A and B are shown apart, each in its own frame.
Chain A
Amino acid sequence: MSDPRPSGALETFRYDNAIVRLFIIATVVWGIVGMLVGVIISLQLAWPAANLDLPWTTYGRLRPLHTNAVIFAFAGNGIFAAIYYSSQRLLKARMFSDGLSKMHFWGWQAIIVAAAITLPLGITQSKEYAELEWPIDIAIAVVWVAFSVNLMGTIIKRRERHLYVAIWFYLATVVAITLLHVVNSLVIPVTLTKSYPVFAGIQDALVQWWYGHNAVAFLLTTPFLGLMYYFLPKAAGRPIYSYRLSILHFWSLIFLYIWAGPHHLLNAATPEWAQTLGVVFSIMLIAPSWGGMINGYLTLRGAYDRLRTDPVIRFFFLGITYYGMVTFEGSLLSLRDVNALSHNTDWTVAHVHNGALGWVGFMLFGMLYWLVPRMWKTELHSKAIANAHFWLATIGIGIYALSMWTAGIIEGLMQLWFNTDGTLRFRGWSDQLDNIQVLYWVRVVAGLFYLTGLVLMAWNLWATARRGTAVTDDEAQAPALLPEVDLDKQVGEALAKSGQAKVSALHGLVERWPMVFLALIAVAILIGSVAEIIPSLIQGALTPRIASVTPYTALELTGRDIYIREGCNNCHTQMIRTLRAEVARYGDYTRPGEHIYDRPHLWGSRRMGPDLARAGTKLSYAWNFTHTRDPRKVDGSHNSTMPRYPWLYVDEMDLSTVERKLSVLKSAPIYTPYTAREVENAEADARHQAGEIAAILRQDLPTEAGAVQGLENKEIIALIAYLKRLGTDLNKPSAGAP
């Protein structure tokens, strides 16, 4: 089993357990916080009054907090615990730097706290899973680099020559997330709490989903497969079923994942070739994904009897099952016709929760039940409670998926349903809500099941830690690694001695054909990424300009930033897909050229309410005024799930930065064609337009609008200005056109 090559003297060293324990504690604590927020916002969808009419607790602001907490705080800290524990042991070395480890841990927690403060305050970039504003983005980059250096440094000073497959999965995470985060976070700051992305419209959307999809790939998939490949064999006491398969599916996963991003923008205003590329590679992804699942299942061969007794094996078994299910479901959802029904519905919500609760959650729970007793040198406090957690979590996620699948399919069918005379069967949104409201209540119960299980785990692990002793370091011994030898040279010399020098080159090539294959794959990945992104950007730059589409006015831009602050894009899309039912419902399908001034894009991914891409062509000033104040007060909206926004009618709009905003948008590399006059007079122009809108409202709604003192200065005026602009440019006679 030992390396046949010569090795150095035996060295004694210590594994850093303290850092692993810190990440374990953070995983559990943030897991409870993130899922508690999830339960709260799910309750708000069933019962809108649960937001208490406070700005900081509305759905649009809390939803990003929930997703960020679960992804970056729960799953993030979880994989760091896994990586810090397993890497040290696989590499036979203490982490490269205790200082970097501490900086990583405390920096990451500070970022999470910053997110928990800024998101409820409405400080957001609005891009899904990348909402945090630019100062926090910079902090993320710095901490991530610290983590990367720490991991790479440990690899360099390792005492085990072979890099176990889990390490490759971790490396892919480190490298890919760095690139994704940096590129998707490119913004021009306006103030400390506001920025505009350098990409606009379709380009912003493509970069965002290139990021979004690969964040799933490299934060919620590769590190968890690495986790599986370390902790599953450990828990089962058996080697991986096939080490070759693990290597093969690693490289093929890396190769395929990077291409699949456009499947988030199917039937949308994105290039057809990019959509097709996304679909084809999403289907191909089943192979490497199921390679991992099968390898996991078969590793458990001979340990399956422990499914009856061992909570660790139970959680891992179900986690792997969810991995197989969710990757199959993802490929299914990426088919254009399935996507036509499923996209923007609760089916997507079911899918991501199968991934986050089923795969990510269960793998972490399995790891924690295995790891915590070892980190505190004792036995698990109660196996019975762990098993109760298992059943609560299993039932919870099961009910969750069933309820949201059902809701999603109902929504999809009702939205696509035509009468025989060619008209829409269900025009309004309330018919649909009548059918799914009960399922929203079921979902609250499912979330409570899962959360209760998590709380039981926290208590169980705490009791375990309390009766054990935290040993800071584990002592270990391993021979030092001698400097690497040039194998090719050695082989060449050996062959030359035996008179076979001529064939040595060819022989070496054939002998290492897997490496040649891997090198070709790396080249293919690069070409793939470049080929996918660059034409999209060029296409974006060359998007046919629509003469009548002009930049937002100062007031509309202010309103748009309020729309972003309140997180309206979490529930409303601005993308009318090229589907007959959507054109019949919302109007002409969205053109890429309509969004060239959208920074960031607000296409959205989920319709809790109707699409707003052409809202400006349909809804009156008065309707918007009444509806935003109390959505359930307008006709056909009695069961709306939308929050009320009373503060928009009290708070005055902040126009102090609007000149600077226009100035930033006008500057390189953004180049929005504002005139110098428009920039200089931004505030005055905004006040003028606000005055006009306030006058219209006072005329149409003498009592309600008249009752608001200083109406023209209120935030609602800016928001209405923006909503009334949406989608109106396309058919507007352009100033210069004949």
Chain B
Amino acid sequence: MDIILLLTGLALIIFVVAVVALMWSVRSGQMDDLDTPALRMLGDDPPPPPNEPL
């Protein structure tokens, strides 16, 4: 069945994508700090600026 070849190909592409994503996240230290990101996201809003002409 042709469709098996297609699905296998798709699955292999996803596999490669997932592995690359994980390799990248290991190397860039995404998981090194699992405490501050939760706090950091709270502070990212600037105070409401006055309406300015665009």
Q: Which of A's residues lie within 8 Å of B, judged by CB?
A: 1, 89-90, 92, 160-165, 175, 179, 182-183, 186, 198-199, 203, 230, 233-234, 237-240, 243-244, 247, 374, 377, 469, 471-476, 484, 486-488, 512, 514-515, 518-519, 522-523, 525-526, 529-530, 533-534, 537-538, 541, 668-669
Contacts and interface: CB of A to CB of B under 8 A. Distances in A.
25 contacts: A1-B36, A175-B17, A179-B14, A203-B3, A234-B41, A234-B42, A238-B42, A239-B39, A244-B34, A374-B48, A469-B51, A471-B52, A475-B46, A487-B29, A512-B31, A519-B19, A519-B26, A526-B11, A526-B18, A534-B4, A534-B8, A537-B1, A538-B1, A668-B2, A669-B1
B11 A473 contact: no
Contact of A247 (B7, B14, B23, B31): B31
A237 B42 contact: yes
Contacts of A1: 36, 39-40, 43
A372 B25 CA distance: 34
A669 B3 CA distance: 8
Contacts of B1: 537-538, 541, 669
B39 A198 contact: no
Given A1-B36, A538-B4, A474 B27 contact: no
Contact of A515 (B6, B22, B33): B22
B38 A247 contact: no
B34 A487 contact: no
A487 to B, nearest CB: 5
Contacts of A247: 31, 34
A175 B21 CA distance: 12
Given A162-B37, A237-B42, A243-B34, A522 B22 contact: yes
B34 A515 contact: no
Given A1-B40, A179-B14, A530-B11, A199 B3 contact: yes
Interface residues of B, number: 44
B38 A239 contact: yes
B49 A474 contact: yes
Contact of A89 (B14, B34, B38, B45): B45
A233 B18 contact: no
Given A175-B17, A243-B34, A515-B26, 7 more contacts: A163-B30, A183-B7, A476-B46, A484-B27, A512-B26, A515-B25, A537-B7
Contacts of B26: 512, 515, 519
A240 B14 contact: no
B28 A487 contact: yes
A591 to B, nearest CB: 20
Contact of A90 (B6, B44, B54): B44
The 10 A-B pairs at the shortest CB distance, nearest first, are namely A239-B38, A243-B38, A522-B18, A515-B26, A526-B15, A240-B38, A669-B2, A530-B11, A519-B22, A541-B1
A518 B18 CA distance: 10
Contacts of B35: 243
A230 B37 CA distance: 11
Nearest to A529: B11
A132 to B, nearest CB: 21
A533 B7 CA distance: 8
A471 B27 CA distance: 39
B49 A475 contact: yes
B18 to A, nearest CB: 4
B33 to A, nearest CB: 7
Contacts of A175: 14, 17
A538 B5 CA distance: 11
B6 to A, nearest CB: 8
Contacts of B18: 522, 525-526
A474 B46 contact: yes
A266 to B, nearest CB: 23
Contact of B54 (A179, A472, A522, A533): A472
Nearest to A491: B29
A459 to B, nearest CB: 24
Nearest to B52: A471
A511 B15 CA distance: 25
Nearest to B44: A89
Contacts of A164: 37, 41
A541 B4 CA distance: 10
A530 B8 contact: yes
A313 to B, nearest CB: 16
A377 B49 CA distance: 9
A83 B14 CA distance: 23
A374 B44 CA distance: 14
Contact of B31 (A199, A514, A538): A514
A610 B52 CA distance: 64
A374 to B, nearest CB: 8
A230 B41 contact: yes
B8 to A, nearest CB: 7
Given A377-B48, A519-B19, A198 B3 contact: yes
Give the one of B7, B33, B52 with max A CB within 10 A.
B7
Contacts of B21: 522
A198 B11 CA distance: 18
Nearest to B41: A164
Nearest to B31: A514
Nearest to B26: A515
B2 to A, nearest CB: 5
B3 A162 contact: no
B34 to A, nearest CB: 5
A377 B35 CA distance: 31
Nearest to A236: B42
A167 to B, nearest CB: 10
Contacts of B25: 163, 515, 518
Contacts of B38: 233, 239-240, 243
A683 B28 CA distance: 65
Contact of B51 (A186, A198, A471, A476): A471
Contacts of A186: 3, 6
A524 to B, nearest CB: 10
A723 B18 CA distance: 47
Nearest to A248: B34
A484 B22 contact: no
A162 B30 contact: yes
Nearest to A478: B44
A537 B46 contact: no
Contacts of B49: 471, 474-475
Give the one of B3, B21, B29, B41 with max A CB within 10 A.
B41
A537 B31 contact: no
A199 B6 CA distance: 13
Contacts of A92: 44
Contacts of A668: 2
Nearest to A373: B48
A382 B28 CA distance: 46
Nearest to A476: B46
A471 B49 CA distance: 10
A388 B6 CA distance: 52
A541 B49 CA distance: 64
A127 B4 CA distance: 21
A478 to B, nearest CB: 9
A160 to B, nearest CB: 8
Nearest to B19: A522
